C-alpha cells in the first residue's frame, strides 16, 4: 500500500500545508509547472517522485519528460502536464493525472480516472488551492481532494 501526494502547478511555491502532505506520503506525483529546480529538488528529497515538465518549466527542466507512464502498487498511471497532450487512445491505463488549468477535476471516462489536482502554488483566477491524497493498493485506488488553507 502506498500513500501518494499528487500536486501540480506549484510555480515556485511550496506552502507549509503542502509540504506536510508531501512529507506524510510514500510517493509524490508532480504534474508540471514546477518553475524552479529548487522546488524539484525539495520534492525529490522526500522520496519516490514522478515529475513531468510543464509549459513554464524552462531550460533547467529540459531533462524532465513531457509525459510518463508508471505503475504503482498495480495502478497504472499516465502523467502529463496539459490534458490536450493525452493521447486519443490510451490502453492499459487506470488513472490519467494532469495539471495546467489550476482547477481541480475528477471524472471517470471510459473506465479511466482523469484527475487534475488543481494548483497548490500561485493563486489564479480566484480558484482555490488544491491537491490530492491517494491510496493505492493491489490495483485499487481511493483518493480525496485536499483544500489548501488560504493565506
Residue 91 pLDDT: 85
Residue 151 pLDDT: 64
| pLDDT value at 107 more than 90 | yes
How far apart are the C-alpha atoms of 12 and 84, rounded to whole Å?
23
CA 43 to chain centre: 12
| pLDDT value at 48 more than 80 | yes
How far apart are the C-alpha atoms of 86 and 106, rounded to whole Å?
15
Mean pLDDT score across all residues of the chain: 94
| pLDDT value at 125 more than 80 | no
How far apart are the C-alpha atoms of 92 and 47, rounded to whole Å?
26
Dihedrals φ, ψ of 51, to 5°? -130, 145
Residue 89 pLDDT: 83
Q: Is the pTM of this model over 0.85?
A: yes
Amino acid at each position: 500500500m502506498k500513500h501518494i501526494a499528487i500536486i501540480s502547478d506549484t510555480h515556485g511555491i511550496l506552502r507549509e500545508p503542502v509540504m506536510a502532505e508531501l512529507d506524510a506520503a510514500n510517493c509524490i506525483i508532480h504534474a508540471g509547472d514546477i518553475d524552479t529546480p529548487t522546488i524539484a529538488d525539495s520534492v525529490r528529497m522526500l522520496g519516490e517522485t514522478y515529475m513531468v515538465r510543464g509549459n513554464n518549466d524552462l531550460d533547467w527542466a529540459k531533462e524532465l519528460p513531457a509525459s510518463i507512464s508508471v505503475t504503482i502498487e498495480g495502478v497504472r498511471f499516465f502523467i502529463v502536464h496539459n490534458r490536450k497532450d493525452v493521447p486519443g487512445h490510451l490502453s492499459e491505463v487506470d488513472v490519467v493525472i494532469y495539471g495546467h488549468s489550476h482547477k481541480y477535476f475528477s471524472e471517470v471516462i471510459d473506465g479511466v480516472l482523469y484527475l487534475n489536482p488543481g494548483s497548490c502554488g500561485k493563486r489564479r483566477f480566484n480558484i482555490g488551492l488544491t491537491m490530492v491524497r491517494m491510496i493505492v493498493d493491489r490495483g485499487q485506488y481511493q483518493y480525496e481532494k485536499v483544500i489548501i488553507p488560504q493565506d
